[in-house]
Structure 1
Amino acid sequence: MSDLTSAITDYWDAAAPAFDEEPDHGLRAERTRAAWERRLRAWAPAAPADVLDAGCGTGSLSLLLAAAGHRVTGVDVAPRMIGQARAKLAAAGLAGSFLVGDAAAPPTGDDRFDMVLCRHLVWTLPDPEAALRAWVARLRPSGRLVLVEGRWGEAGSPYVPGGESLPWDGGVDAPTLASAVRPLVSGLRIEPLSDDADLWGRPVEDERYAIIARL
């Protein structure tokens, strides 16, 4: 494991206890939870489908997908995040498989999925384009890749030591990410999300969007 990868793992593991305090992470407010439920219903295949939640964090989106009838596998590099995700679904009486591992190269073997979902992860990756190829390779024919990303408005120092070397440190704009995804899929669309304050629990001014791509 490189020093940068180790620093990223340690950062998110340390962030796990307070992670759900952010409105769009914990989805504790009914309006925020309902907003994500609506989006996921529009993006996901008809249930039941096999869904890989890459960089699942504490499992809030995995929980919504499982509640909608999907079979969910979550992967995250931070053991504490995975522990919370397992506990969250168990408390709700829902099934889900959660693995500690590199979300950029999910340790799912030969399993294939109807959808790969990734929220706010690509900017943290040392090689995001390799991750995009890995996620597409895990899709079944006619599968879909859903990326919820943005270009963050907060400027400042890198979030981990060495983070300034990350290709998309601070986020990635929609045209750049779409250009990286387009050669891997048969088609995609960009869905702006900045103007939906319910998703974030507050109004936002930075760029936030989803890319929904199909094989």
Structure 2
Amino acid sequence: MTELTSAITDYWDAAARAFDDEPDHGLRAEHTRAAWDRLLRAWAPAAPADILDLGCGTGSLSELLAAAGHRVTGVDLAPRMIEQARAKLADAGLAGHFLVGDAAAPPTGGERFDMLLCRHLAWTLPDPHAALREWVARLRPNGRLVLVEGRWGEPGQAAPPYVAGAETLPWSGGVSAADLASAVRPLVTGLHIEPLSDDPHLWGGPVSDERYALIAHTQRADQCVPTSRDIDHR
């Protein structure tokens, strides 16, 4: 483990205690919980599916997915986050499988998933491009990649690094929809962007920075070669 990775782990481990106090983390307000539940149901397959939630934190999105009938595996670098995620689903009477590990290289062996979800994770990674390749490889044919990301802080202002050394990360302070789409597009057969900044229910109040979801699909089993028919709605 590098010094920076260790610092990042320690940061999120220490943040676990108060993590759910943030409206979009704990989803304690009914309107915030309902807003995320509505999005997840739109993004996830209609039938029960195997879903990998990377950087799952305390498991709030995993809980919503499990409540919708999906089989959820969560991965997070911070052991205390995973402890809370396990407890959260157990308290709700829901099944979920949670692992401590590097979300950039999930410790799930050869298992493949119908959908891979990350929220506010890519910007924390030392090599996000390698992680994206790894994530797409974990999906089954016609799998779904759902990345909820953004650029943090006021427009035109760089957000300060949250741990010493984080300013050296490729996407420190967040990643724009255009840049993330450019990185993902060669790996998938189609993608689109859904802006999320204009829905205050998702965040517990109005936000002025860029927030969005990128939804992409891997090739179908009957496709012999990748296609170039990707769709990018901005």
Q: Normalization by structure 2: what TM-score?
A: 0.91
Query: What is the Cα deviation at residue 44 of structure 1?
Result: 0.5
The one-letter code of the counterpart of 1:208 is: R
Equivalenced residue count is 215
1:40-94 Cα shifts (integer Å, max 9, x gaps): 0110012310000000000000000000000000000000000000000000000
User: Counterpart of 1:4?
Assistant: 4
User: Counterpart of 1:19?
Assistant: 19
Aligned partners of 1:119 and 1:149 also within 8 Å? yes
1:192-203 correspondence runs (5 A): 192-203=195-206
RMSD: 0.7
Percent identity of paired positions between Structure 1 and Structure 2: 82
After TM superposition, where is structure 1 displaced by more than 2 Å over at least 4 residues in a row? 154-157
User: Counterpart of 2:113?
Assistant: 113
User: Counterpart of 1:148?
Assistant: 148
1:210 to 209, 213, 224: 213
CA distance in structure 1 between the aligned counterparts of 2:47 and 2:23, rounded to whole angstroms: 26
The one-letter code of the counterpart of 1:57 is: G
User: Counterpart of 2:176?
Assistant: 173
CA distance in structure 2 between the aligned counterparts of 1:152 and 1:91, rounded to whole angstroms: 33
1:84-117 Cα shifts (integer Å, max 9, x gaps): 0000000000000000000110000000000000
Distance 1:156 1:146, change over 3 A: closer
Query: What is the Cα deviation at residue 161 of structure 1?
Result: 1.2
Structure 2 unaligned blocks of 5 or more:
219-234
Distance 1:51 1:74, change over 3 A: same
Indicate yes or no: 2:48 matched with 1:45. Answer: no
User: Counterpart of 1:58?
Assistant: 58
Indicate yes or no: 2:80 matched with 1:77. Answer: no
Helix, strand or coil at the partner of 1:143: strand
Q: Normalization by structure 1: what TM-score?
A: 0.99
Query: What is the Cα deviation at residue 158 of structure 1?
Result: 1.1
User: Counterpart of 1:188?
Assistant: 191
User: Counterpart of 2:224?
Assistant: none
Structure 1 unaligned blocks of 5 or more:
none
Larger radius of gyration: 2
The one-letter code of the counterpart of 1:193 is: L
CA distance in structure 1 between the aligned counterparts of 2:201 and 2:165, rounded to whole angstroms: 34
User: Counterpart of 2:163?
Assistant: 160
